[in-house]
Chains A and B, each alone.
Chain A
Amino acid sequence: MTTATPTVDAPFHAERPAFWWLLEREVMRFLIVWRYALVGPVMSTLLFVIVFGTALGRHVDGINGIGYGQFIVPGLLAQSMVNVGFFNGTTSLFEARRDRYINDVFASPLRWWEINAALVGGGIVRATIVAVATLTLALPLIGGIGVAHPVVLILGTPGVLLVAAQVGVIAGSLAQSLDHVNSMESVILLPLGFVGGVFYSVTDLPRFWAVLSHLDPVFWLVQVERIGLLGRGDVGAGWALLAVWGLAALLSLWSALIFATGRLKP
């Protein structure tokens, strides 16, 4: 036998932190199904870039002096991060709950915040890979773009990733069935994406709709990426960063409450 039986009065000691094991499992989970988990989202975002950016974009005037193809890329990037974060959290956590192998994690010495952080971390890693791959492949299609405000991009993108991953974990913890997961995507996520200013500037909307757009969380995620990459947005960089990190903090608190209070357990 290779390991000693634990003594009953010794404090718990980990040779390798259990958190890393769970995070590794979360990353490996989507790498095993990389065709669906990584290639699929990259391809679908690239199709948007090709159809709207390069094909239709030729017939559309630029927005705020920016070519249409370049204009939509930051928004599509934010949208794809949110979608990937959502699907990662729901797939991982909902299936773990449905098949009850989450019990193996709850019964282990992992602390609630380690479980929460590992699930969120998995979503962040996956969304980062998809975002980097999308951007790398999309840029040649639209003739490239620079990074106008690197500080905004560096400060804002982790916030966008955190929001995306937390949304997935919260949805995964609330979902009661696969139908529930699908309806969350089609009833909440998709409409929020469409009215979040991915394909247009909200300043072009009638005042009522422009104001309403500001209530859409996706709008702020899009703004951070657009200001960071293109240097122009519908709001100031400071407000966009504040909104994204405020949202990230709110969702993190919600997610933490779910795990800390044991709501995933009967």
Chain B
Amino acid sequence: MTAALSICGLTKTYDGGFTAVASLDLEIPDGAFFGLLGPNGAGKTTIIGSMCNIVRPTAGTLQVFGHDHRSREARHLIGLAEQEINLDRFLSIRQILIYHAGYHGLGRRFARERADELLALFRLDHKADARGYELSGGMQRRLVLARALMHRPRLLILDEPTAGVDVELRSEIWRLVKELNAAGTTILLTTHYLEEAETLCDEIALLRGGEIVARGSSVSLRARYGARDITEIYQRVIAAESLP
């Protein structure tokens, strides 16, 4: 079976000379729920940006379901909910969803129907004509997630999807994401909520300084490190080794 994501030798050095990721290899199977954990600056957002055509990799090959990551096919198969709220300030939230669908080639009627469907699902329908900046933080987060789902991606990338949201919305988001995964969507998740990553993800990779330092299911990682939970492993592998 073709991997959902295959990264080989990814290196990214930014203009200032900072190397965020160095010769990284990563393969995520189709249908997986994969967690990418690491501290700020570990390279998670750089990896995601490289996959999604918003960061220029310095070296390496990236494939999405066997397609070069820059191809239209690859980009159509990925849905991205970025960590930062990045909403078109000129459009209403319904238009944000419709135009996103349009950029992915959907026709107008389908785009409208899908937008209404997701606005209802994310309980944003009463705000359909509002601008993104008029929404609360939680609503903006829901909108970013709804936008990522507009074109029905096969690989959903969630970069800190629950940052700054309340407990109720967090559990709502996780329930939805679990349903999507059960229906066949591959999920790549980054989060600072380690216990949730442990519960949700089939497989976890710990990232430090742009390198994967540990990878496996939570069970296998616990056994390997003789740890009670993923938090303890994280403390040992990431936090402790980051100390001077």
Contacts and interface: CB of A to CB of B under 8 A. Distances in A.
B161 to A, nearest CB: 16
B54 A103 contact: yes
A22 B89 contact: no
B15 A266 contact: yes
B54 A5 contact: no
Contact of A265 (B30, B56, B103): B56
Given A16-B107, A21-B103, A108-B104, A8 B154 contact: yes
A188 interface: no
A106 interface: yes
B84 A107 contact: no
Interface in B37-80: 49, 52-56, 65-66, 71-73, 75-78, 80
Given A5-B154, A6-B152, A8-B2, A104 B105 contact: no
Contacts of B71: 12
Nearest to B107: A15
Interface stretch (B109-117, B168-176, B188-196, B203-211): B109-117
How many of chain A's residues touch chain B, expressed as a range? 35 or more
A145 to B, nearest CB: 37
Nearest to B147: A104
Contacts of A265: 49, 53-56
B106 A16 contact: yes
B214 interface: no
A126 to B, nearest CB: 13
Contacts of A4: 152
B56 A262 contact: yes
Contact of B86 (A25, A100, A109): A100
A100 B89 CA distance: 11
Interface in A1-35: 1-6, 8-18, 20-22, 24-25, 28-29, 32-33
Contact of A109 (B75, B110, B184): B75
A109 B104 contact: yes
B152 A3 contact: yes
B234 interface: no
Contacts of B198: none
Given A14-B106, A21-B103, 4 more contacts: A16-B107, A32-B90, A106-B54, A265-B53
Name the 3 nearest CB pairs between A and B, nearest first.
Answer: A21-B102, A14-B105, A15-B107
23 contacts: A1-B152, A2-B113, A2-B114, A2-B117, A3-B110, A3-B114, A6-B154, A8-B65, A12-B76, A21-B99, A28-B91, A29-B90, A29-B91, A99-B87, A101-B86, A103-B54, A106-B52, A106-B53, A107-B53, A107-B54, A109-B75, A111-B72, A265-B53
